[in-house]
Structures are given as C-alpha cells and as structure tokens.
C-alpha cells in the first residue's frame, strides 16, 4: 500500500481545528455575498442573518447541512458496468476541461473546435487509465456560445460510455445537461435515484457566490446530481497570499456551497473541491507544481475527509507553454500530490497545458503515461513464492545473470514496466534516429491511442431523442440570465 486509505496527513489535528475555527469565523463574522435572490430567501428562512446580499452562515447550521451530504455515492455511466462508486477505493480520472485552445505538434496551437473535442473524448475513452470524461475538453469555439454546451455534451455522451462531468456554467446550461442525462438514463427518475453527471461549481472568490453558479448549483441539487464545490483560489489574487489563509477561505467557500445544496435537497451528493495555487507575481498567471499548489492538493484532501465528503482535487496541472521539462516536472509534482492526497475525483488529469489555456494532445499522451505508472505503483508488489524468487536466486546463484533465466523470461512482460513513451536507446542509436525528444514520441503515442479507439455505439432511440432535444433548444430564445 503506497498511500494509507486516509491519504497523507500534512496537517496535525490541531492545525485542522485551527483552520476550521478560522473558516467558521469567516462565515459568521465576515459573511459571504450570495447574489441569488431565491438562495438568500432560503437561507434567511433557515434562520441565517442576511443583510442585503451578505449572508452570515453560523457554524451550527453549516455543520448540520454538511452532515447530510453522503460520503459515498454511485455515479451512473452509460455502460452500467462503468458506473463508479465515488468516495470508494478508486478515483475518477478525467481529461482536461475548459481550454479555449487545442494544440498538437502537427497542427500547432489553434482555437478549439468540436472536432478537437471529439478527438479528446475518444482519446479519454481509449486510455484505459482514464475512467471518466469531462465535457469541455476544449471549447468548440466555432459554435454559438449560447448553445455549444449541448454540442460538447453530446460529443461526450456519443463517443464514450464512461461517467462524465457536465459543462454547466449557468443554471440554464446545467438544466440542459440534466435533460440530456435524463434521456441517456431513461428519464429524470433514474438520475434522481443515482446521479448521471458531476457538475462543478466555483465560488467567485473571495467569498462571493454569484448568480450563475448558485443557479447551476440549485439545478443540480434539485435533480440530485453530484456537485463538486470547488473554490478557484489563487493565493495573492483571489485568496490571501498565505497557504494557511487560503485553506481557511477554501473551507468557508466549500462548506457554504455544500450547505446551500443540502438546503435545496437534503442528501444531494456533494464533493469538497480544491483548486488552489498561488500566482506567479512576476506574470500574474497561476503557477503549478509549486510547494503552495502541492500543499493545496494535500491539505484539501485532509480537510475533505475531516468533513466526511469525497474529495475533488489535483490533476496534471502545468504552467509551461510547451511539453518540455518544465511541463513534465510541474505535472509530475502535481500528480504525485494528487495520488498522495487520495483524491476521489480528478479533473484535468490529462492534456492540461499552459495554465489550462491549451488542451495539448502530446501533453495528453505524456499524462496518460504518468497515470499508468502511478496506477502500477499504487497496485504494489506481490509476495507469492514466485515473486520472492528464492528458487530463481538459488538456480542462478552467486555471479550468475538473470537476463536469460527461465524466471525472467516467464515474468518480465508482466512484472516490468516498459513505457511506450519513455525509452532508453543508447546515445548513438538515439542520435541516428535524429535525437527525438519526448514531444515527438508523444505525437506518435496519441495517434496510436486514437487509432486504438473503439466506438462504444449508442442506442438509436437515445441518440434521436438527444438530437431532437438539442434541435428544439437551439430554436428557443436564449435565456437572458444565461
């Protein structure tokens, strides 16, 4: 067991208690702005002090609500065999989401398109180590911004039968996603029994819940969908410049979000989400792989468990503009932290580049390789007689060689990692090949992965209903609140 079930503890019990106390003081004494009338009404009815847009959440209320959110729940997949126990022994690993740009070695950096989105969904589906798709792998920039959330959601549903995270950046968009999930799973009743999607809500840090996000949160909670409440915290910009202060703020924003969801529908499955790093003060851009971001991932996991919630955190995050040593170092630093935190849900595990502005296909191949290696590492080593190898040691004996031994030949394919991406040709052979670096091999790797993709197909009636729904919604006027 590489990591204990409860993850690595980076905070003492006393430090957790101090963060909790500070967060409660933030909620009670500073309060949060909730820019959603229905939400404020509901919170006032629940007995909270509300002054104009400011809501003061008291700790008794918060902890009572948070306790209603389950520690585990089943997330449905289109292929029932791929439905997943969130909060169970294995995490959900997803592709990147949100970038406006796509990039690959041949096509260069470009505006994202639906074709790129389809490709990223197919790559995610084809990569065995990824078991969940995130809609919005790249923005389909050529499509109408008012309706493209549906085209991307359809791309996710059509090209993969794995569980998925929905797009929903507003109430109406969230409701479209819910309607599509209901079609996939045979009606709203089915997805109300077990969620058919994960929605992500970000508070507008510091300490603001804006209308769109609360509206999406309400939509998902009403439908009993999974909600990852994830403050997007950048120390020095949207959070104090100290990790400690940022964590206290994270607790305040997470728990108030979870509490609102529980108020709408007690038992709605919520996750404690952490997206926490600092900005690079030289550029103002978020920095990943830094000690601050590593602490953000690790402490977030510990806090999630403290509050009895599944944990969304970490990812293959990198700041670098290209798939170079910096990108790999940042990503590996973050993924190690993610694994050590025992995150339950990992967005942006593959393909994230340039601080999330670009979905890179070569980065995707690199990340999948790293995730495969972590998965093998997490499985641990075996202690069978054959693995203890006393007989092999005796047979080969002092001064022998294991290269061609029977024991080696029988087991090397199963027991040794031979990375298709990380290779070790000798220097002269490598020079003769034109000194290819990782990017060039990664280009080949994602193309091989894409070639291995098998279309899971889709039920024809479901497909027609999805298309009919989208056609109808595209003819309707755009919601003015959206």
Q: How far is the CB of 225 from a second copy (least distance, A)?
A: 27
Q: Which of 235, 259, 260, 349 lies at the binding interface for a second copy (CB under 8 A)? A: 235
Enumerate helices (H) and strands (E) in the chain, giving the number of each: 18, 20
**Of 316, 310, 383, 387, the residue nearest 352 (C-alpha):** 316
What burial letters (b/e) apply to 223-251, b meaning 16+ CB within 10 Å? Answer: bbbbbbbbbbbbbbbbbbeebbbbbbbbb
Rounded Cα distance between 15 and 4, Å, is 20
> Does the protein bind a second copy through residue 382 (CB under 8 A)?
yes
**Cis ω on the peptide bond leading into residue 334 (within 30° of 0)?**
no
> Does the protein bind a second copy through residue 59 (CB under 8 A)?
no
Q: Which ranges in 46-104 belong to alpha helices (H)?
A: 59-66
Nearest to a second copy of 62, 165 (CB atom): 62
Stretch of 7-15, 82-90, 120-128, 449-457 lying at the interface with a second copy (CB under 8 A) = 7-15
Q: Which of 69, 95, 202, 249 lies at the binding interface for a second copy (CB under 8 A)? A: 249
Q: Which of 158, 312, 439, 445 lies at the binding interface for a second copy (CB under 8 A)? A: 439
Q: How far is the CB of 476 from a second copy (least distance, A)?
A: 33
Task: Report the residue count for the chain.
Answer: 482
Nearest to a second copy of 115, 388 (CB atom): 388
**Of 263, 260, 207, the residue nearest 232 (C-alpha):** 207
Q: How far is the CB of 57 from a second copy (least distance, A)?
A: 12
> Does the protein bind a second copy through residue 458 (CB under 8 A)?
no
Stretch of 77-85, 259-267, 272-280, 452-460 lying at the interface with a second copy (CB under 8 A) = 272-280
Using alpha carbons only, what angle is made at residue 169 by residues 457 and 139, rounded to the nearest 5 degrees?
Answer: 55
Nearest to a second copy of 247, 270 (CB atom): 247
Q: How far is the CB of 104 from a second copy (least distance, A)?
A: 15
**Of 351, 250, 259, the residue nearest 298 (C-alpha):** 250
Neighbours of 319 (CB within 10 A): 23
> Does the protein bind a second copy through residue 437 (CB under 8 A)?
yes
Nearest to a second copy of 428, 461 (CB atom): 428
> Does the protein bind a second copy through residue 434 (CB under 8 A)?
no
Q: Which of 129, 215, 354, 443 lies at the binding interface for a second copy (CB under 8 A)? A: 354
């Amino acid at each position: 067991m590489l990591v204990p079930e409860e993850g690595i503890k980076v905070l003492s019990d006393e430090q957790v208690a101090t963060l909790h106390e500070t967060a409660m003081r933030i909620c009670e004494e500073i309060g949060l702005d909730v820019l959603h009338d229905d939400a404020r009404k509901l919170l006032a009815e629940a007995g909270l002090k509300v002054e104009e847009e400011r809501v003061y959440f008291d700790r008794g209320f918060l902890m009572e609500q948070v306790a209603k959110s389950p520690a585990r729940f089943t997330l449905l997949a289109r292929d029932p065999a791929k439905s997943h126990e969130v909060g169970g022994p294995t995490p959900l690993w997803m592709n990147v989401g949100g970038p406006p740009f796509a990039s690959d070695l041949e096509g260069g950096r470009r505006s994202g398109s639906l074709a790129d989105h389809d490709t990223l969904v197919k790559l995610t589906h084809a990569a065995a180590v990824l078991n969940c798709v995130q809609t919005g792998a790249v923005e389909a920039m050529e499509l109408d911004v008012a309706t493209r959330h549906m085209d991307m959601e359809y791309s996710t549903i059509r090209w993969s039968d794995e569980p998925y995270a929905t797009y929903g950046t507003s109430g109406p968009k969230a409701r479209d996603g819910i309607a599509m999930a209901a079609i996939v799973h045979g009606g709203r009743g089915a997805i109300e029994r077990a969620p058919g999607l994960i929605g992500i809500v970000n508070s507008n840090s510091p300490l603001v819940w804006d209308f769109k996000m609360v509206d999406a949160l309400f939509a998902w909670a009403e439908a009993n969908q999974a909600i990852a409440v994830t403050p997007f915290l950048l120390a020095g910009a949207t959070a104090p410049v100290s990790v400690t202060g940022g964590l206290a703020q994270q607790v305040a924003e997470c728990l108030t979000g979870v509490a609102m969801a529980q108020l709408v529908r007690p038992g709605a499955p919520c996750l404690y989400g952490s997206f926490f790093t600092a900005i690079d003060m030289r550029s103002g851009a978020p920095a990943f792989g830094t000690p601050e971001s590593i602490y953000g991932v690790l402490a977030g996991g510990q806090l999630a468990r403290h509050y009895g919630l599944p944990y969304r955190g970490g990812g293959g995050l990198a700041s670098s503009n290209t798939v170079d040593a910096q990108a790999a170092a940042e990503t590996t630093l973050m993924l190690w932290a993610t694994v050590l935190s025992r995150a339950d849900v990992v967005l942006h595990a593959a393909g994230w580049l340039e601080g999330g502005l670009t979905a890179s296909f070569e980065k995707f191949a690199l990340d999948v390789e790293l995730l495969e290696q972590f998965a093998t590492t997490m499985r641990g080593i075996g202690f069978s007689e054959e693995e203890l190898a006393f007989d092999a040691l005796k047979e080969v004996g002092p001064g022998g060689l294991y290269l061609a031994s029977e024991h080696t030949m029988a087991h090397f394919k199963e027991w040794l990692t031979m990375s298709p991406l990380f290779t070790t040709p000798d220097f002269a052979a490598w020079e003769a090949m034109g000194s290819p670096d990782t990017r060039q091999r990664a280009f080949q790797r994602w193309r091989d992965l894409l070639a291995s993709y098998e279309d899971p197909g889709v039920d024809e009636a479901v497909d027609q209903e999805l298309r009919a729904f989208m056609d109808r919604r595209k003819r309707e006027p755009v919601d003015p609140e959206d």
